[in-house]
Amino acid sequence: MTTNKLSNDQIKNEGQSTRLFYDPNSLSSFNGYRIVHTHFDLNVDFDSNILYGYVQLDVKPLSNELCDCSSTIKTENKEIPNNYGNQVVLDSRHLNIKKVLLKSNDIEKSLSFQVDIERESLTIEMNDESKDSTISIIIHYSTSNTKCSALQWLTKEQTADRQYPYMFSQCQAIHARSLYPCQDTPGVKSTFTAKVKCPKPLTVLMSGLQTNYDENTNTFYFEQQQAIPSYLIAIAVGKLASYDLSPRIRVWTESSMIRQCQYEFEHAEQFLTAAEQLLGEYQWKRYDFLVLPPSFPYGGMENPCMNFLTPTLLAGDRSLISTIVHEMTHSWTGNLVTNENWEHFWLNEGFTSFIEAKILGNLDKANGKEVRRFHAAQQWQDLQTAVATWGAAHPYTCLVYRLNNTDPDDAYSSVQYYKGAAFLWYLEQDVIGSESDFDEFLRSYIIKFGRKILNTDDFIQYFQSYFPQAPSVDWQSWLYTPGMPPITHDFSTKLEEQCNQLATQLSPITKEQMNMLNAKQVAYLLNVLLNHKSTINRDYIEQLDTNCDMSKYSNCEICFRWYQLCIRVKFEKYLDNIFEFLKVIGRMKFVKPLYAEFKSSWPELIPRVQTFFDEHKKYMNPITVKQIEIRLNSQN
């Protein structure tokens, strides 16, 4: 395959001028004024469950005629959205705004402002202030103690060590606006510094590098020199312990979990080195990560310099390391190369999931191709489940979808992860036909778009310019058509065939057969059974449990699939286990399908499920609560 490769220096020198773009999920004036630096000065108040203090936003006025214009701006007359003249408009959700100041040459001047609760915006009148240079706006505020969707406050009883309270954030997709007034869009990237004071003996961690610490006041200082979007701002406060896994990798967690983390993630440096070999030098200096309490709603969150991980990865056998590989990969695809709005989310997650499988294969020197293919097969199974859940005609099963008047959380699923990964597999294997050529393309793509934002049109144009002689691609079917991909991949491996044979054999699966499978294969087998809805009944599940004693598994990836099968066939034996699982685990990948399965397969149990949820939701993350309420209240 002939390529049209530019040198790395040529690509870097192209740069990207300030880009005007469209984002249906932000009212902020990012096309009139652009935040370039953010400084936090905050206090952590566990008595009131709030953060209070101020944020300073250094804002650059934009001259639209000097900016690049994204293809996502589609208005007929090219009217530029999100530009309100002399008004700085920020996204602001349930924040208590106390005063707004303009800072100039150490002189502070009050600015008039208006909060629109319904539209979740803060409008600041700039009047006749100059638009010739960067201006600094200081906003004194506090977060809401009941409606801050970015923060979860835990009592000491909700932590592993049960000694001190705990707080952590989750800003993706559009929750940063409840943490601080901002331009809450992935298309705006800003550096940040922070000063955060909390009660002793607690520790503050953020998505930046710690630069100083005042022991007398227990004040922590941070800096992030690389510009990042608001969804990557992260903070956690708790009684934490740490262990250095390598000179540049440190794991943080509660002290009772540190030995588990030390064992489970012992090979983290090998993972990061393998990622660098594929993608280029790691750009963030440190790769530290925090293993959170179990109410954390995701498997992981790629906050730069301080990834957040769920404790459900602590399987005791290192079988769930793919999640940390996924979050590491985001250090390139997502954190460096970023989708300009959430309608193009697949550019973050599809690339990351595709590369994750590559890295897992590269880590296994003896059987790498088999490992990569089996991981891709697992992703394909999860994609089938997600498409079946939405319905094959649902617009959210497109890779690129519309989010007008829609919270990105409501459209979130594994479709953008695994349909995106399948698309890139197709481009590599079927269109280009060379893994090494495609690896070169990936490195070039990261250099080209690193520290920038892009949309799907940008990706298509760069792919076509890099591979000018490549066969034509049906972009419409892959990107904008709902349902499963237009091409079904064959990910056949011995590992997969073993599972498929067990799923389709006429006789019951035996204990001996199940013991031949590794943990990933058991999870895959259960996924296959979940997707064989017509052939799986209660007798089958009861016999499987009798033969194989499914209660012996503690791996959450296995447990949640087994519990979903039990709900589907109304197998009462595991009800107490299921409710205990839902009581402890907050990871949405696990709990959303279980609540949805109760709704669709066991409706007569819904009153008990609803009562259980109402009793326990006060201990759950607000993001998770909203998504479960949607599923329990749906009419489907």
Annotated binding site: 170-172, 297-302, 326, 330, 349, 587-589
Pair of tokens at residue 18: 């300030």
Integer Cα distance of 350 and 418 in angstroms: 6
Residue written as tokens 């699923």? 413
Catalytic residue among 120, 254, 264, 327: 327
For residue 327, indicate whether it is catalytic: yes
Integer Cα distance of 545 and 572 in angstroms: 12
Within the chain, what is the greatest distance between any pair of CA atoms? Answer: 81
Pair of tokens at residue 259: 């030995």
Integer Cα distance of 260 and 256 in angstroms: 8
Exposure letters 324-338 (e unless 16+ CB within 10 A, then b): bbbbbbbbbbbbbbb
CA distance to 120, 343, 405, per residue, from 25 (Å): 11, 10, 8
Tell me: cis bond preceding 173? Omega within 30 of 0 counts.
yes
**Phi-psi category of 42—alpha, beta or left, where left has phi over 0 and alpha has psi -120 to 50?**
beta
For residue 445, indicate whether it is catalytic: no
Label the pairing between strands 249-253 and 241-246: antiparallel
CA distance to 331, 351, 429, 473, 571, per residue, from 463 (Å): 21, 14, 15, 11, 50
Please report which helix (H) or strand (E) contains residue 491, including its range.
none
Tell the burial category of 517 from Cβ atoms under 10 Å away from its Cβ (0-12, 13-18, 19+): middle
Pair of tokens at residue 439: 């690896």
Catalytic residue among 180, 401, 417, 574: 417
**Phi-psi category of 127—alpha, beta or left, where left has phi over 0 and alpha has psi -120 to 50?**
left
Tell the burial category of 370 from Cβ atoms under 10 Å away from its Cβ (0-12, 13-18, 19+): middle
**Binding site residues for a peptide, as ranges?**
170-172, 297-302, 587-589
Integer Cα distance of 63 and 18 in angstroms: 10
**Binding site residues for Zn(2+), as ranges?**
326, 330, 349
Pair of tokens at residue 116: 């629109």
Integer Cα distance of 124 and 118 in angstroms: 17
Pair of tokens at residue 282: 């790691």
Cβ neighbours for 489, distance < 8 A, ≥ 6 positions apart: 376, 380, 422, 425, 426, 429
User: CA 99, 105, 106, 109 torsion: positive or negative?
Assistant: negative
Tell me the catalytic residues.
327, 417
